[in-house]
Amino acid sequence: MDKRIYASYGQRPAELVKELLAEIDAAKDIPSGARIGLKPNLVVAKPAREGATTTPELVEGVIQYLQDHGHKNIAILEGSWVGASTQRAFRVCGYDDLARRYRVELVDLQKDSFHPRRVGDLEINVCSELDRVHYLINMPVLKGHCQTKITCALKNLKGCIPNQEKRRFHALGLHKPIAYLNKAIKTDLIVVDGLNGDLDFEEGGNPVQMDLILVGKDPVLIDSYVAQLMGYHPSEIGYLRLAAELGVGHLFDADTEVVVLRPAENTRRLSPSRAVERLARLVQEDQACSACFGSLIHALARLGEQGLLQRVPRPLVIGQGFRGKTGEGFGIGSCTRGFTSHVKGCPPSARDILEQLAGLK
Ligand code: SF4
């Protein structure tokens, strides 16, 4: 399996994703006439800016790429979480409009039939629509989760099972069934919406702007990279290890290559939620790239969860405005290399920031 992840930073999702797909020549793996399933995350009926759902412009870029390569049989598949209406999510999140403009099908998996697929000692009911799909593109949001810490590619497939199975997954503790589900359903390509995913809840409310899009073919590799971007070690996410043991993919390691097509830049900042603003008060910022600032916010949130926010050194500086400057203080990212100490990287991952901050006495 390809041990590369492709990344671009920016605020033009359709353009950036087309560039990434062209870079990996995604079309070469898709059989002619294939029915292609796009699986966004539309867990609730909230616009993408709130941090829970996949940005429609990102899906639009994927559709444009596929149609430009002659693929016309495209369906957007989703079953929102228990208690939410997928139809409403399609409307509120902008997918009704998208489907109309590009003549793609919208499939509400909450209304689909299902049948069991066996993986080891577990039988999992999977929506029948998945049998009709020849090539599956998983389009999750990079975001936090109150039970599993992160949710991204592996957990996004939970939208492909019926509601009663979703309830059973919770009763089974989530980790094992999520890993096994990814053995039952093969993902061909992953496009991660890391533009503005939530800090700690899958239903959104505290989006953290990172302006990031990731593309890869290995959901375990992608998710273990994402775990680090959010301040976790992959071993802290139970389903990652289980999925790797099942052969779903490889954990991120020293052999993994992250190919960055468009580096982080200082982009227009969206207005932060109250929780993000509270963490941002600890920071002295001057022209920070959103990705760098987002990493720091994730790291501070994790530090706060451990009750260690009092360890945050002052001043804590970040941003291109500190390039070439020297001084007392703790810096985030290579722009602040002139300060007493700094976390290397451009941008550094939340995991790297957290390790250095947590190590301070
Ligand atoms: S180190 Fe500087 S240039 Fe690099 S992501 Fe951070 S702020 Fe941007």
Distance CA(258)–CA(48), nearest Å, equals 25
Predicted local distance difference test score (pLDDT) of residue 1: 62
Write out pLDDT tens, residues 104-133: 999 999 999 999 999 999 999 999 999 999
Q: Ligand 1: does its nearest atom lie under 6 Å from the Cβ of 260?
A: no
Ligand 1 centre distance from Cα of residue 226 (Å) = 18
pTM of the prediction? 0.96
* Per-residue pLDDT tens over the stretch 144-185: 999 999 999 999 999 999 999 999 999 999 999 999 999 999
Q: Which of 138, 48, 133 is nearest to 94 (CA)?
A: 48
Angle at 170 between CA 169 and CA 171, to 5 degrees: 90
pLDDT attached to residue 344: 97
SS3 of 361, please? coil
- The CATH code for residues 4-262 is 3.40.50.11440
- Find out whether the beta carbon of 334 lies less than 6 Å from any atom of ligand 1: yes
Which residue, by CA, sits nearest to atom 8 of ligand 1?
A: 289
Residue 21 has pLDDT above 90, yes or no: yes
Q: Is the pLDDT of residue 361 over 70?
A: no
Residue 358's pLDDT is what?
A: 85
Token pair belonging to 26: 């995604």
% of the chain at pLDDT higher than 90: 96
**Ligand 1 pocket member 288 (CB < 6 A):** yes
Span from the CA of 291 to the centroid of ligand 1 (angstroms): 8
**Ligand 1 centroid, distance to 145 Cα (angstroms):** 27
Q: Taking the domains of the chain in order of start, what are their residue ranges?
A: 4-262, 274-359
Q: Which of 266, 287, 289, 295 to mutate to test the pocket of ligand 1 (most atoms within 8 A of CB)?
A: 289
Return all residues near 335 (Cβ < 8 A) that are at least 6 apart: 292, 318, 319, 320, 321, 322, 323, 346
The ligand 1 atom at the shortest distance from the C-alpha of residue 266 is: 8
CA distance 199 to 204: 8
User: From CA 325, how far away is CA 338, in angstroms rounded?
Assistant: 6
Determine the residue of 209, 267, 320 to mutate for testing ligand 1's pocket, defined as the one with the most ligand atoms within 8 A of the Cβ atom: 320
Q: How far is the CA of 5 from the centre of ligand 1 (A)?
A: 20
